[in-house]
Structure 1
Amino acid sequence: MSETVEKRHIWPLVLLALVAAGLAVLLREHLSFEALAANRAILLSYTEAHTGLAVLVFVICYAAIVGLSLPGATVATLTGGFLFGTFPGVLFNISGAVLGASLLFLAARWGLGDWLSSKIDATEGRIHKIKRGIDENQWSMLFLIRLLPVVPFFVANLLPALFDVRFSRFVISTALGIIPGTLVYTSVGAGLGAVFEAGEVPDLGIIFAPQILLPLLGLCLLALLPVLWKTWRKEVV
């Protein structure tokens, strides 16, 4: 790729990063649990009066938060549960997350993905081996980075774009892989009414509770089974 083409692709990403940084500073106080608690009556009233429009606005805002990697995705998920209940709130949360993740994926792919992938393919060493491992086990790795709560969401959105993952695989694995975690936080959001009344804050560490974390780890192991099977077959052969 020529230097001119590289610059043409990189500058929009730089501009996007600057916009995201600016919005993160400007909206920092608004994308918080305190802001949700302070405006809960207005939000509930508006949602009840204009349900369809509220859903549309919510999904778009959620997608913008994820697409720009703004702080507040967890609060947005709680808001989805608070305003719409566990169901259909979880569907709206997943829709916003997948839409935003897809936009970020496409932006990264258009900006640097193909160029970086070609550079990695042309090299030898650890990074090349990592990319080859992802290429050979895409479905397993995609589900794994979604299921593991220790992997930042924006990282899970960017890595597949930089490692030449097909867009359809990215969307499917994202939509299915985030269901467990999103369902947990949406249900927490659905119970925020009692939390607000008690003047407390929600327990966001609930996903690390044994009764929730252990099933997630079980799903991670299930996602790794094809990789382990391939490794075992290679050793046997």
Structure 2
Amino acid sequence: MRSKPISRDDPGAKSNDNRDDKPKGVLRHLPLIGIAVVAGVGALTLQDVLSFDTLRDNREALLAYRDQHFGAMILGFLALYIAIVALSLPGAAVASVTGGFLFGLGAGVALNVVAATLGAMAIFLAARWGLGAMLAAKMKTGQGRIRHVQQALQETEIEVLLLLRLVPAVPFFVANLLPALVGVGAWNFFWTTAVGIVPGALVFTWIGVGLGDVFDRGETPDLTLLWAPHVIGPILGLCALAALPILIKALRGKSKV
């Protein structure tokens, strides 16, 4: 006796499909869950490891290794910095200063920007693949204010992304996660990150260039330099330029937030 073929409209078939989709849905969240767990553990255990004290205590060994194995030092620095950013570990500021200390201003800025951008891209993709995909889908099918927010973000996506990078008060991990949760395009996220972090990378790398003298005096690097008027002023000017198109569109009634 022939068995009856299962119709696509059969409720039993739909329930089976739903059961099959559930494990896939859980797996999509595993990268972001793993990052959250590692970030929590790192915050509790690595505060004293990825620090200026560690850098000061190992400065001679690091400089000697750099001089003997320059290529390997670059690869090791990039790998460590990418991991710090991708896993939201403490020590990103220390890593940026270290880039200047080990490689000088030009190469240090370039390496810091590359590492921070790749690390940011990794956590962005992890978030967008799981929770971000779900939230973005809900925003697309949403109505009312949610729909207006999504349309406004689409109209000013690049400007908002640049603002998130340029405003010093926005934590780096927030600027990595938030765009993924609202459906920002990967390419726009990538290039605005690379461009937007240049001013901050320049400041931190510059601090690192003079780090040897700071250690010789028995002092700790002063990261408050970022807030000095002659430094924060130009950065706030760039923020104003990035915000200007958003303001113009809002005044013209094109953005409905």
Tell me which interval the TM-score lies in, with the shorter structure as reference length.
over 0.9
CA deviation map 1:1-57 (0-9, x unaligned): 954443222233223322333344343322011111111111111111111110011
Q: Percent identity?
A: 49
User: Is the 2:83–2:119 contact (alpha carbons within 8 Å) kept by the matching residues of 1?
Assistant: yes
The normalised TM-score by structure 2 is 0.86
121, 144, 151: which one aligns with 2:170? 151
Letter of the 2:189 partner, please give it: F
Letter of the 2:198 partner, please give it: I
Q: CA deviation at 1:234?
A: 2.6
Letter of the 1:82 partner, please give it: F
Q: Does 1:116 align with 2:142?
A: no
Two-structure CA RMSD over aligned residues (Å) = 1.8
Specify every segment of 5 or more residues in structure 2 that has no aligned partner in the other structure, as ranges.
1-17
The aligned counterpart of 2:151 is 132
- What does residue range 1-237 of structure 1 map to in structure 2 within 5 Å? 3-124=22-143, 129-234=148-253
Distance 1:210 1:228 in 2: 25
Letter of the 1:150 partner, please give it: A
Select between 120-129 and 212-221 the one with higher mean Cα deviation: 120-129
Distance 2:251 2:123 in 1: 36
Distance 2:126 2:120 in 1: 10
Given the superposition, is the C-alpha separation of residues 43 and 166 from structure 1 closer, same or farther in structure 2, using an over 3 Å criterion?
Answer: same
Report the secondary structure of 2:252's partner residue: helix
For the pair shown, the structure with the greater C-alpha radius of gyration is: 2
CA deviation map 1:201-227 (0-9, x unaligned): 111111111111111111011111211
Report the secondary structure of 1:85's partner residue: helix
CA deviation map 1:77-129 (0-9, x unaligned): 01000001111111011111011001111111111111111123344566554
Distance 2:146 2:48 in 1: 39
Specify every segment of 5 or more residues in structure 1 that has no aligned partner in the other structure, as ranges.
none
Letter of the 2:71 partner, please give it: G
**Count of aligned pairs between the two proteins:** 235
Report the secondary structure of 1:29's partner residue: coil
Q: CA deviation at 1:177?
A: 0.3
Distance 1:218 1:115 in 2: 36
User: Is the 2:35–2:88 contact (alpha carbons within 8 Å) kept by the matching residues of 1?
Assistant: no
The normalised TM-score by structure 1 is 0.93
